[in-house]
């Protein structure tokens, strides 16, 4: 079976700790539930991601070298 999370086109997905989550929410002035969603069944998620976790996705960017985006893990 292929591990999709290890594919070279899938950006890095990391679970933020609570301190990191608070920093992001404060920086953007949003609540956790205002973040875009990602389902728990998404194959790119780390295996230990649980519903309610916030995922930091690091994407390559032509203009900024890297772009950070955040997603809230939800049940499908």
Domains of the chain (ranges; CATH) run: 4-74 (3.90.940.20)
Average pLDDT, stretch 48-55? Answer: 96
Q: Which own/partner pairs from 69-73 qualify as long-range (CB within 8 Å, at least 24 positions apart)?
A: 69/36, 70/16, 70/24, 70/35, 70/36, 71/35, 71/36, 71/37, 71/38, 72/32, 72/33, 72/35, 72/36, 72/37, 72/38, 73/37, 73/38, 73/39, 73/40, 73/45, 73/49
Residue 75 reports pLDDT greater than 70: yes
Average pLDDT, stretch 23-40? Answer: 96
Note the pTM of the prediction, 2 decimals. Answer: 0.87
């Amino acid at each position: 079976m292929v591990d999709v999370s290890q594919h070279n086109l899938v950006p890095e997905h990391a679970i933020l700790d609570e301190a990191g989550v608070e920093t992001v929410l404060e920086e953007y002035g949003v609540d956790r539930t205002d973040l875009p969603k990602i389902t728990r069944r998404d194959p790119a998620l780390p295996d230990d991601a649980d519903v309610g976790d916030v995922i930091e996705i690091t994407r390559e960017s032509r203009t900024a070298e890297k772009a950070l985006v955040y997603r809230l893990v939800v049940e499908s």
